[in-house]
Chains A and B, each alone.
Chain A
């Protein structure tokens, strides 16, 4: 199916309200949906025989710090049965106080098991929580790491467990040791 007819199908499933279709920029068009509708839509996108999105190609987090401090979760879906693709986006506000209360979105790992690790990675890098995930931990970084490195305002710590992370400090330590 073409992207337009997929969009019509989606509208018939979850209604037209609050959907934003973005196709006026170069590159791939995408659909922004409210996060409350994500799980219901995801179930239907996999189960509906006309859509049948059987693989989740890519799940990424994005942090925008322009006019508004917001995060996005992007789902690149592909259907091997019908050979068509579609891109979904969920936008999350990131207020200055208690951001982790707001950075929450339903997990789709029960629908596409591939999402389990991808969501863990997004949490690791962006601090977005996925509600309903079976085994929710950091994936790449150590469990006691502070902060989420792909946030645009991330400050790299000077040391991790007493090990310096910047080159100047390491050189300083080496100079001290050699006297």
Chain B
């Protein structure tokens, strides 16, 4: 006789500790196995695109901090580059280097949170306290730089708002000297941990084709074996002058494109960011840090789509101007949004506990999904 089973509908979220913000999943489960997974998003929708249409260009900068609060510098940078290209604003070389420096520093702390919460979501709470300790140091550096610890509002059209304080670069290299061996330590006690590995290898594999179809970006795309990084392939700012490698997922540790590969990509990217930071410190030019020539900003009618590489992948701003001081339309395309849209497809067939691992490995941040 066949065993009959019953499905039940389970609500996961909106207040679930592993959902990285406010997200809800409606799951139809049969025992532990998910038959259907429907993400329900929008709990953090703040209407940023509508707000952008009603504000002068410069006034929207603080809102980009809130676009992804774990990588505020990168969001600032993406928006600033978009408006600079549209309005033809020159950026002095020192400002370019400072921008890359803060963006890479922000990438490190964003990946630290990602790695830490990843371990915490699947049950290992201690690693999070270690990663957050390193992040605290960078937060102190940022506080020294611009007075804010999370929402920096530091980058301006044509440069940055403050110059580097006295001795900042020395303190930064001190941090890097401390941080680089830490990564090896993480590998010893998280990455190569047997339980961690067995828990993640081969879970929720995203194939090359799926990654392309769902327009995945950033670390999630590279984990599926696609060699694509905007910093190297379409260099913006001064990335063209810097040397770094782009880590690509391999099947060395199991299956390419699984949760474990996506975890490793972030560890490797932190190593590369340290490399970039050291070069920035060595090459930091003297000179002005802000181009003050255009105080009243007007953008000629036209449209432009600019994308930059944020920690969660490609961050695109599609700006349409009809002249004047406000944008006609500003569409924001984020990495977490496409990462979230693939969960619906990947979710069915997983165990409930693996769904938590999948979301953590995609490094989804809810405010970036909802905007």
Contacts from A to B (Cβ < 8 Å): 25-28, 30, 54-58, 60, 62-64, 66, 74, 76, 80, 83, 87, 112-114, 116-117, 125, 139-142, 149-150
Q: Does B303 contact A (CB under 8 A)?
A: yes
Q: Scan residues 296-314 of chain B and give those whose CB is less than 8 A from a CB of chain A.
A: 300-305, 307, 314
A116 to chain B, nearest CB (A): 7
Chain A residues contacting B69 (CB-CB under 8 Å) are none
| B302 interface neighbour in A26, A64, A139, A141, Cβ under 8 Å | A26
Q: Point out the residues of chain A lying under 8 angstroms from B61, CB to CB.
A: none
- Tell me, yes or no, whether B6 is within 8 Å of chain A by CB: no
C-alpha spacing A64/B322, complex, angstroms: 10
B residues near A150, Cβ cutoff 8 Å? 49-50
Interface of chain B residues 223 through 240 with chain A (CB within 8 A): 226, 228, 233
| B371 to A, closest residue via Cβ | A140
Contact with A along B321-336 (1 / 0, CB 8 A): 0100000110101000
Count CB-based A-B contacts (< 8 Å): 82
Q: How long is the Cα–Cα vector from A42 to B302 in the complex, in angstroms?
A: 25
Q: How far is the CB of B109 from chain A (nearest CB, A)?
A: 27
Residues of chain A within 8 A of B333, CB atoms compared? 57-58, 60
Which of A66, A80, A117, A142 has the most B CB atoms < 10 Å from its CB? A117
The verdict on A58 contacting B233 (CB below 8 Å), with A26-B86, A141-B42 known, is no
Q: State whether A80 and B212 are in contact (beta carbons under 8 Å apart), knowing that A58-B316, A60-B318 are contacts in the complex.
A: yes
A113-B45 CB under 8 A given contacts A62-B329, A74-B318, A140-B370: no
**A28–B304 CB distance below 8 A:** yes
Assuming the A-B contacts A28-B303, A114-B338, A139-B42, are A80 and B228 also in contact, with contact meaning beta carbons closer than 8 angstroms in the complex? yes
Bound form: Cα–Cα A25–B371 in Å: 29
Across-interface contacts of B305 in A (CB, < 8 A): 28, 57-58, 76, 87
B86 proximity list for chain A (CB < 8 A): 26-27
**In whole angstroms, what is the CA distance A28 to B302 when docked?**
8
Smallest CB gap from B88: residue in A: A26
Interface centre among B45, B318, B331 (most CB of A within 10 A): B331
Interface membership of chain B positions 193-218, coded 1 if the CB is closer than 8 angstroms to chain A and 0 otherwise: 00000000000000000001111000
What residues of B have a CB within 8 angstroms of the CB of A26 in the complex? Answer: 86, 300-302, 304
Cα–Cα distance between A142 and B49 once the two chains are bound (Å): 18
Flag if A62 contacts B49 (CB, 8 Å). Answer: no
B binding-site residues for A, Cβ under 8 Å: 41-42, 45, 47, 49-50, 86, 212-215, 226, 228, 233, 300-305, 307, 314, 316, 318, 320, 322, 328-329, 331, 333, 337-338, 340-341, 345, 370-371
Given pairs A60-B333, A80-B228, A140-B371, 11 additional interface contacts (CB within 8 A): A26-B301, A27-B302, A27-B303, A57-B305, A58-B316, A60-B329, A64-B328, A76-B305, A80-B212, A117-B340, A139-B42
Q: How far is the CA of A55 from the CA of B212 in the complex (A)?
A: 6
The answer to whether B213 touches A112, judged by C-beta atoms less than 8 angstroms apart, is yes
Task: Kindly name the residue among B226, B228, B305, B320 whose own CB sees the greatest number of chain A CB atoms within 10 A.
Answer: B305
Whether A54 and B45, one on each chain, are in contact in the complex, defined by CB atoms closer than 8 angstroms, is: no
Partner of B337, one of A27, A66, A117, A149: A117
Given the known inter-chain contacts A113-B214, A114-B214, please indicate yes or no for A83 contacting B233, CB distance below 8 A: yes
Query: Is A58 in contact with B50, judged by CB distance below 8 angstroms?
Result: no
CA distance A28 to B331 in the complex (A): 15
In the bound complex, residues from chain B placing their C-beta under 8 Å from that of A57 are: 215, 305, 307, 314, 316, 333
Q: How far is the CB of B270 from chain A (nearest CB, A)?
A: 25
